[in-house]
Every structure is written in structure tokens, then in C-alpha cells.
Amino acid sequence: MKRILLLFSISSMALADDAAVLRCRGIAEAPARLACYDALVVPTSEEKARQTEANQREQFGLVKSDKTAPEAIESYIPGHFGGWQPGASIRLANGQVWQVNDNSSGVHNIENPKVSIRHGMFSAYYLEIEGTNRSPRVSRVQ
């Protein structure tokens, strides 16, 4: 039984913030050290899943995708959007910057258009813009 509890506590500690564990480890007095360990926050599996999903969305388009990466992200282009041309950089409201990397161009006068970036075949990404049926191929630059 002691081994099970020890294994459980070790696995829980592995989930905690490494810096916090190191800080607790450096406390000399046993009661203060124990209080430090007791105060560590161990994320639930739901919290870990949410964090993983958030990290995948943040990294969408920057790293080679895997099977767990989202198929698309959604955002909008803040302000007036007049269209695109080859090489244009488009900043989304979520802070991501995507560059048109095909020879397409389009005129599209709209305020704050909703957009989706979809992962296509052969590591391609396509920008779907509200109100148009054209989707330029893009790559993430920031």
C-alpha cells in the first residue's frame, strides 16, 4: 500500500511545475518543506487536455502537424480588409500572421471578416475568408 501511495505522489509531483518543486526541495525545515509541497497545484486531466489544445492552436501552422493537431482555427481580421495579393501578410485577431504563398489575389472590402485557416493536403494551409469563395494558400510567419 505504501508503494502505491508513493508512486501516486511521485506521478502527481511530475505534473506539478518543475520550478515550484525545486523551490520546495530547497527548503531545509521539514514542516515548511511539507507545506510547500502541499501547496503545489496539480492540474487535472481536463486542465491538461485544455492546455494541450491551447498549445496546439497556438502552434498551428508553425510546426509540422500531427494527428492530434486541430484541422482548422478560427479568428477574424481586425479592421478593414481590402483583399490580398501574392506575398501579402495578413494579421489575425489572435496575433498570428499568415502570408499568401500562391499567385492568387482578390479584392474584398469588408470590416472585421471572420476567417478560418484550414489544414489541407501536403502540409498546405488555406485561408477561408467570410464573404468570398476563394481560399488563398498561406503559410504562417508569426
Q: Which residues of 78-114 are buried (b: 16+ CB within 10 A; e: fewer)?
A: eeebeebeeebebebeeebebbbbeeeebeeeeeebe
In a domain, 10, yes or no: yes
Q: Which residues contact 29 (CB under 8 A, 6 or more apart)?
A: none
Same domain, 72 and 118: yes
Query: How many domains, the chain?
Result: 2
Same domain, 81 and 116: yes
Same domain, 124 and 76: yes
Distance CA 84, CA 128 (A): 12
| Structure confidence by residue, pLDDT tens digits, 99-134 | 999 999 999 899 999 999 998 888 899 999 999 999
Same domain, 89 and 28: no
3-state DSSP assignment of residue 8: helix
Estimate to the nearest angstrom the gap between the alpha carbon of 110 and the chain centroid.
27
Q: Is the pTM of this model over 0.85?
A: no
Distance CA 86, CA 1 (A): 65
| Structure confidence by residue, pLDDT tens digits, 26-63 | 999 999 999 998 888 888 888 888 888 888 778 887 77
Residue numbers of the domain that contains 107: 65-140
